[in-house]
Structure 1
Amino acid sequence: MKESLPGNKTISHYRILHQLGAGGMGEVYLAQDTRLDRKVAIKFLPAELAADERATRRLIREAQAAAALDHSNICSIYEVGEEDGLSFIVMQYIEGASLASRITAKALGLREALDIAVQIADALAEAHSRSLIHRDIKPQNIMITVRGQVKVLDFGLAKVVRERDMLESEVATQGLVTEPGMIVGTVPYMSPEQVKGEPLDARSDIFSFGAVLYEMVTGHQPFASENAAATISAILVHEPAPLARYSREAPAELERIVTKALAKDREERYQTAKDAAIDLRKLNQRIEIEAELQRSKEPEGTGGLSVATIAREVLTETAGEPATPTAETAAARSTSSAEYLITEIRRHKKGLSIALAAFVITLAAIAYFLLVRGGQPKTIDSLAVLPFLNASTDPDTEYLSDGITESLINSLSQLPNLKVMSRNSIFRYKGRESDAQAAARELNVRAVLTGRVVRHSDALMISVELVDALDNSHIWGDQYVRKFEDILRVQREIAREVSEKLQVRLTGLYKERLRDHQTENTEAYQLYLKGRYYANKYSTDAIKKSIEFYEQAIKTDPKYALAYAGLAESYFEASVVYLRHDEAFQKARLAALKALQLDETLAEAHTSLALVNMNYDWDWPEAEKHCKRAIELKPGYAWAHDWYGIYLGWTGHLDEAKAELKQAQDLDPLSLPINTDLAGMYFWARQYDQAIELYRKTLDLDPTFTPALGYLGWCYEQ
């Protein structure tokens, strides 16, 4: 466009109000949509682009693809049109400021920068899932609304303009000089493959995103030099200065994330924007938890009050036995971090069996050592809860020790920034004599929790020990002897005692992460544990028994959502071994839907419903929705990652499928099905050497595992 449009000029049914900005991509105006009575932004394309019929057709195709994106962090495209020789795109008008202006004003703190980065990554993940690459991610193309919501602009437009004049005109390289009203150019944010003119994929956007993240945190562009040529050279050859040079508050984990995003070799970068978003969310959660713990640190004079001391006193008092406070508990009763963590967890664990009471205290102690001590050199970020030993004379109580182990795994896996090994890998150690260090090496974890369970009549004793596998040192341990039927009264009293204080001192995120989905009915909980015990044996008779126990648990407590989710899983297994396919899946669907009706935040129920969607309904959008929701609710749930990986593979996204299944494998490295599923993706991608390696690893764990044997044979036939 040679001249700016005058105000009040009408194009189609849009009345031009005034210009918002201009640059190599065209001119942007605020306009009034006279039909729908709303403000919109209209981008008029450069005249030379409008005169190119082929480029115009390509623009329309790209804009149509971008218009199909429906995501809260992507600016909506309403229309593509042409009038009086002017080609234009009508977009959502966003009231707010560009990320570029926020960076220039030095108005971003670390937490806000991370929140913005997560939203940008989410937008990219959505676009990439629909095979749409942005190619021009930069602060000028990112808007922040007055409510803090990110909106990414110009999806698809960059390809049309850059294909015409990439590096051949001043437009593409002049971005190092800012002129009034102009949009800053692209070079400082280009990936190495982009400046070399190579074919691009989604990982180019991830590099640009890394450059934007770097600039948000430091206020400096990672590769900016005196001119465009020098900047391109820096992108290709040099590494950016460490974040710590400009920002003392930037944690080491953020340095790792940025470094990975800015890797010169695209194979070494994040392979998907979703992976980057997951790491950023975990970091954000860790920072919030650390801030919360910092606010609740023990005041001077508490003398390092032990968690076990408080736990024993609280349980003794609430069991109806008067307790004589020690000097240390009297001094710290209202403010210690240990009590704060115990009471938080107790508030969320109402109504479990006595076994659960003991493991709640265990959970509090682990949280104290793994999180409060996290800022010290001896940081622990990974844990294996080895199968608790049933030391009872009655073998029928085996379900109790297994249930305590599994409940601990489920609860701890919800804590942010703590990797907890999943059940399948853990229970390969059941019945084996394996020391903590050996198990930790095999599972690649730092800490190991072991325990013993003894039940005699209505009495129960649980012993636990937490060990640092790095040097085999004892971190914490204790022994609990309680009456079996006392649990409900004990937990209610503790909850009443501390609920008011917890509402003030704990953030919503922390409460959500420690949330429990158990029943308040002790009998129903025992029946559920028996259902889990038999469900994990996978034989026909065992699956039938698991269904019986789940149904009894539901009859005892009709609002027990977790029992419905377990029932859905067992019906899915039943479809494989004895029950007619359609009957099994119909029953699984009803159970999963009932679980979600009772508790929408139950990750296991979302996964069960996804299984029905994939294996019976062939409803891919619903399957994807429930897989994603399960992962969002419980990032440490290996089976949610596994089934989402299978979904991605079945829908033709093999690279993303492999990435998702690798996350499942990381959480459950000794799982036969997960290793086989990952190998299967390599097989379908025709990467037979990698597939063979994984199938062999699986067969090393169990030489009789039929699926791995069959696929291994197919690999050798290729």
Structure 2
Amino acid sequence: MIGQTISHYKIIEKLGEGGMGIVYKAHDTQLDRFVALKFLPHYLNSDPVEKERFYHEARATSALNHPNITTIYEIAEHDGQLYIALEFVEGSTLKQLVKHEIPSNKTILDIAIQACDGISTAHEKSIVHRDIKSDNIMVTPKGQVKVMDFGLAKVKGAVKLTNAGSTVGTAAYMSPEQALAVDVDNRSDIFSFGVVLYELLTAHLPFRGEHQAAITYSLIHEAPQPLARFNQSVSPEMERIVLKALEKDKTERYQHIEDMQADLRKEMKNMEYARTGYVKAVAALPVVNADKNRKVLKYAIPAVVAVIIIAAFVFNPFSVQINTQKTQASEKNSLAVMYFQNIADPEDKHHTGDMLADLLITSLSQTKDLEVVSRERLYDIQKEFKADSRIIAPDMATKVAQRAGVTTMLLGSILQHEPTLAVTARIIDVQSGKILSSVRVIGYSSKQIFALVDTLALLIRNDLRIADASPDEKKSVTTVTTNSIEAYRSYIEGVDLNGKFLNEEAYVAYKKAIELDTNFAMAYYALATARGNVSSMERSASLQKAYALSGRLPERERLIIQNTYVSDIENNPAKAAVLMEEYIQKFPHEKGAYLELGAYYGRTGELEKMGLTYLKGIQVDSLDKNLWNILGYHQAGVNNKSKALAAMERYMRLAPAEPNPYDSKGDIYFILGETDSALVWWKTALKFRTDFMSSWKIGAQYLLRDDYAHAEKYLLQYASARGEDHKLYVDAVPPQIAMRQGKMNLAIRQILELLPRHAKQNPPDLIFYDYADLISLYDEIGDFDAAEKYARMNALELQKDPAYPVAGADLLAYVFHRNGKQNLSAELMRGLRNNYDRMAPEDKANVDYTDGVLAFEKGDYDAALKHFQNATARAFPNHAPQYHMALSLLKSGQTGDAIKEFHLLTWRSQMGNMFFDLDYLPFWNYGSVFSVKAHYWLGVAYEQQGEKQKAISEYEKFLQIWKDADFKSKELEDAKIRLAKLKGVTAP
């Protein structure tokens, strides 16, 4: 049609084509102006409904007169073709704009505010656009916004033009109600405009798919990725605005476009204030002894470091050089933020001093040319100087800074709280003691602590003569942490408590932080990686949330979260190890990275690399108590008693007032088989905290010694300390004692009574303990139908957690086999084997072990042993014993090895450490039963070897423990016959 004249419009070029027709640029020869002509396709002209839609567009649009809406000039028909003449707009669509580059936040806000003006005008006239997308909004070269193409506009009360099931409009921009073909109102436009804003800010669509059905599923069921993942300059408030517009429930969205526009205007004002407002609150003091043209001295590190070795303690059993004089911070400018002395509140009751220091470290850590030492590192150094306070005193600051190897340190003071905060900060050259600069910041209220920190960080960067920082390095501390002061206060309390192994208190603090700010990425990560009884599903959900929010974080924190996600959600510790090696190359002084990397190597069975990684970490920081602690476990795992205990001694010196070093030392003795010594150290830990986790270990050990009074005392002591949410742990103690005593039916009744409450209240993982116990109990008494019932329920629950790809299929396959359903068992195992190569090492071990048990059930003991050896190949030599492996050894004639494994089963209780307990294998909860039956099988083994007295002793122990058994046991009956025969008497 190019070159033709339609009425008084000469067509010049084709502009575009869409579902509602073809658009041309034309010259209006009467009024000498350019217009856009939109033609309805020929075949649609004969459709009365579609023709009505076209006229509807014209009537709706012609009712609007606004500078941010394209004007309609005429509607007409030519040679059987309907067309509409519209205002021609020069410029770019938002789709074209964002393809070139993401506009600045200010430009986006300006576009959004203008577009809201246009949409608001339509809504005032009860017109819903219904096809808002980035292709339908243009920006002129002068910055004027035009909302175009009301081709799907719907006037309230007009003919319903869209039949159910007909998703008219671009799918990726539709509201959920449009996708479901239900009535829409102005809130549908708000959702679609939220999609446009998301696209402008990130260059990505929030809901994507390869076809319309996939897109529809995404926008109805899936949450969009956080904007900060794609654009770290997006403020938390801007993200809140967009996500509110994208609420799937329209009652949760903005109810009027004017409300959304009001928030956008506020954000525009906040942005303008943020650029200039801080100056009003700063009064700079004169710089003392500082040459303005002189850069701050750097602490130079030679290319080849000659480490001065001084004994870290009386002897150094490790082949690692331990430097206790001075550590190197970096070749960059380096800074230690010591403390903010709270003169107005010497006890710092509200943690204001702590928060200022932590937030300032977080803010300055974003600066690539500045190495900032962590507070944990500074506290560790202070402890070496026999000072255990959380506040680094002035007379100690220089010593600590020199030991940390930094060039400069910051000492701060809080002079007043009311009516506004008054804070001073001095930057001091560590070597000379000269004050390089001093600033005083005033005018911020206690609720503006984040803005105060942003100002301080800016001034400190300037005073340190650091090159112009990138936008990422100058992000507000609220962007990378939280905008809630109380949330941050709870978070740092949790970090402190977690570091002391006060797990329950830390959990409460993290949960409070998240309740106060549901977008606090590091609080979610802290919860996901916290010690103690956090449910597996809560860990997975928290880690996924942290990962989704990690885009806004500084590089260090972001990479740590991504590594953990790869390890725990993608179940790929080998890939995580490679990523962590790269991370350590970037941040060699991040001591926590060595702990993570060592754990990854532990999971992949690379035990030598695991130990070397911990030693490398200690070379970086010989005062890190956690590295010494985990090194001790590693050495015990590889049967190196002297080095294990030496590491624990070092740990105890670093944290003499905490309970965990003594608990860990008990664990070391336990791993090495010295249970009496283990009990001594576990009880020592309880002198520091009566409700510490040691009480559970003591109770479990007394249970295996059949000292039920003490077992109940310590187990209840631990269970009753779980807090209000975990009181049901107390009720879980009696069934464990009943199982040990052979009272299986009693234990079943007790657990069934607990089950409804556990299912309703859902304390951490208790429901899975219940299911696992019921499966083992019903299996033991021969009620395989009931065992199958709970194995199915267990599998269904575990399928909800992406961290468990096996999802209970192991026990279910076993129970199917026991219940005569071998075909179902084989089918389940084929499914697991098909996914084997994509599994984490622990899940592979699980599958291997289950294959072994099924081979054992079929009488193929050699095959069973091969599977068991595969399952435990990556574990420490000193790992927990396995009942089915012991049986297979006995059945295959390897009696001596079987006796060793059965002996371990009689005393080795779980200690809460995956690397030693192997609790990722099936049957982990059968310990109460297997530890008793081990005595029976020891009797059988000794009898085979002709050791009559030993056999008699084991049979008697077995019969004594299960003397009150309430179920029919073939082992019990056989033990009585065998014992009588050995004694030469008649069996009872």
TM over 0.5: no
TM-score with structure 2 setting the length: 0.30
TM-score, normalized by length of structure 1? Answer: 0.39
Higher relative contact order (CA 8 A, sep 6+): 1
Higher gyration radius (CA): 2
